[in-house]
Structure 1
Amino acid sequence: MPVPERLVPLLDQFDFARQRLAERMAGPVMDSGNGTHVEVGPMTDAEYLWEPVADCWSVRRHADGPGPRATLLVGAGDWGRDTTPPPHPAPPPFTTIAWRLSHLTEMLALRADHTNGGRNLTRDDFTVSGDVASALPAFDAAAAAWREALLSVDDKALDTVGHCTYPHGSDPENPFLEIVWWVNQELLHHGAEIALLRDLHRSRS
């Protein structure tokens, strides 16, 4: 199926942001944004779980229970991600790389399923990664699934309200093209946060 013309620039943006974030986390080099290669070391578990301020939200073992100001750990497996039912605490808790990457990976995986999969995955089905060795391939798989979902749509689907049935966003109320834009924004937004946290961890005194 040919890619709809309106989707091409958004798909290109997604591909660039995905690759840039993956390289920023895994190394050994990354694109600085202008084609220049910058050396970066691979992300460690210490960085992944680093809590730079008090009362961070992160990913934690279910056996240990939720962190400060959280009331539950969401996700399958031994680990879960700190959260609360809405409304969330204000001001929002500061979140670790692990929290941000888990959130991003879950969003991509679930939205892919609710676009061209079984449309039944929930947050309770998503396996939360407790270390870098499992988190990076999980992100790659989720990003690949979302890209495959994008390639499954035509122009009619782009204009269809609720084409994606993801239950944790505005998907049921918006045309799918707006959801594609929103997912790119999430990837750029959280990717920049993760990059900054890596810089801060490297530069901490």
Structure 2
Amino acid sequence: MAPSRLVPLLEQFDWACERLTARMAGPVMDSGDGSRTGVGPLTDEEYFWEPVPDCWSVRRRADGPGRHATSLAGAGDWGRDAAPHPHPSPPPFTTLAWRLSHLSEMLFLRADHTVGTHKLTRDDHAVSGSAAEAVAAFDTGAKAWRNALLNIDDAALDTVGRCTYPHGSDAEEPFIDIVWWVNQEVLHHGAEIGLLRDLYRAGTSSGPARS
């Protein structure tokens, strides 16, 4: 049985993932007030849509990184625009593809650095080159992270550095704070992804989308 402190965080994570997946995959989603709203599946055109110039996105590795990026993170034929610290200022606007890739990678790697090999890096996580693959990758990452939490006890929740994920403050934080942080990552990036879908739909209904 999960510790009582973990239960509401698990419930919040499950609900946030369910809403985001429905927002991307359809055919309906919960609007938040109990009503059901129809939504079509995420298309490749939306996945790669750049609403402003010089976005950071997911790109074919052969094409190289976008403007202000110095590398393409991830494994496979596709990569996600990246640059070492300090990042460009102001930060580039990131596409739906970039945000979804970032979210899926974070979930998958944090799961590994909690209950797995503690060795996987961004170069081990495949970047998706299509909307359908990206939605599936998010589902895989979300399941991996949730499974990592199933055998966590109260002592583990209070352990600083229980997760060894190298791209955050995990080494300095009690594990329960990391669980909370992962939830807010899903919540806020999920909201961004939903808004980008709304903007894309509004733009294509009134005229051609910017590419």
Give 1:134 deviation, angstroms. Answer: 0.9
Give 1:35 deviation, angstroms. Answer: 1.5
| Alpha carbons 1:112, 1:145 under 8 Å: kept | yes
Which residue is equivalent to 1:78?
A: 77
Aligned residues: 204
Which residue is equivalent to 2:202?
A: 203
Q: TM-score, normalised by structure 1?
A: 0.99
3-state SS of 1:6 partner: coil
For the residues of structure 2 that align with 1:78 and 1:103, how far apart are their CA atoms? 16
Which residue is equivalent to 1:66?
A: 65
For the residues of structure 1 that align with 2:72 and 2:56, how far apart are their CA atoms? 10
Which residue is equivalent to 1:137?
A: 136
Q: RMSD in angstroms over aligned alpha carbons?
A: 0.5
Which residue is equivalent to 1:108?
A: 107
Give 1:152 deviation, angstroms. Answer: 2.0
For the residues of structure 2 that align with 1:72 and 1:87, how far apart are their CA atoms? 14
Which residue is equivalent to 1:29?
A: 28
Which residue is equivalent to 1:127?
A: 126
| Alpha carbons 2:128, 2:134 under 8 Å: kept | yes
Which residue is equivalent to 2:157?
A: 158
Which residue is equivalent to 1:185?
A: 184
Decide which moves more: 33-42 or 167-176. Answer: 33-42
Give 1:34 deviation, angstroms. Answer: 1.8
**Structure 1 runs (4+) greater than 6 angstroms displaced:** none
For the residues of structure 1 that align with 2:103 and 2:31, how far apart are their CA atoms? 22
| Alpha carbons 1:76, 1:125 under 8 Å: kept | yes
Q: Please list every run of 5 or more consecutive structure 2 residues that lacks an aligned counterpart in the other structure.
A: 207-211
For the residues of structure 2 that align with 1:96 and 1:138, how far apart are their CA atoms? 17
Q: TM-score, normalised by structure 2?
A: 0.96
Matched letter for residue 51 of structure 1: E
Matched letter for residue 182 of structure 1: W
Which residue is equivalent to 1:18?
A: 17
| Alpha carbons 1:116, 1:152 under 8 Å: kept | no
3-state SS of 1:38 partner: strand
